[in-house]
Structure 1
Amino acid sequence: MVLFSKTPDVIYSRTFNGSFPAFASWAQFRDLKTDQQFRVLNIHTDYASRSNRLQSIALVTDRIRPWMDAGENLFVIGDLNARLGDRSVRMLETAGLTFAPVKGSTYHFNRGLNLFGAIDHIAHAGQVTRVGGPHVLRERFAGEWPTDHYPVVADFVLTEP
């Protein structure tokens, strides 16, 4: 886990501007049949502070650089609080990530309101090919909205190096 702060490795440290703690978490997976590995980094950047978002994304790009340089298969997913084309998304693209083109809204205010473009994303790098989606599940489940964001899904395959 890395916290989006000036002290990213100190648990519960506040964000760059002192607001509530925000962080990224990751896990590494291995396909038991092919032995191929991939890493998933899940992030949620600050919705209220553009400065926090940009500094957080800069920290993410620094942290993923060794994984990217090693040729790892990597997915960066989550609520970036930024639409495709925004500066923070461009920073991740410059670092070598490719974003699945999520269309339409992914944030709905807990009411099914679709007012602006997607802020939840799936990006990838390495020997990864997107084969389906992305799809945004814009519906209630058992009568309830899935938090204040719609789930975003896509299908990928790991390809041979």
Structure 2
Amino acid sequence: MNSRRQKRLWSVLSIVILVAGAIGAMLYALQQNINLFYTPTQLVEGIGKDKIRPEIGQRLRIGGLVVEGSVQRDPESLLVRFDLVDTGPIVTVEYEGILPDLFREGQGIVAQGHLVNERLIRATEVLAKHDEEYMPAEVAKALMGIEHVPPSQQTSYGSEGSY
């Protein structure tokens, strides 16, 4: 091989390696910024046939209905804890800040934050439903035909009437 062809080959190989490295670095960086949407049931039980659950510390979005009687406010700070439900398990959301004006019990919300443990999300942002007609598509699909009975109104004899 003559030296001119050899220089071209090395140049092309160098460019391919640099581009592959740049693409790999971008994908690695973007992997940490992906916010997947979950419902409380998907969060606890997992998604798909393999029942894949998010890892502790993972950033995510979760949507559901605020359980009646579950909102607890810290009198000395802006910390608020409330429960979310869809069709099954209840998940707790912790948020420090001012909640949207439309936030209330029984209302559909979407919270963005990170997973602290299996059933606790520390939210950095809470979005409430805009009006009676609007609900995020993911939440509407997950909640279609669901009616939740608050824990205070559940009967003590078995799972009848419970979420």
TM-score of the aligned structures, taking structure 1 as reference length: 0.24
TM-score by length of 2: 0.24
Higher normalized helix content (fraction of residues): 2
Query: Which gives a bigger RCO, structure 1 or 2 (Cα 8 Å, sep 6+)?
Result: 2
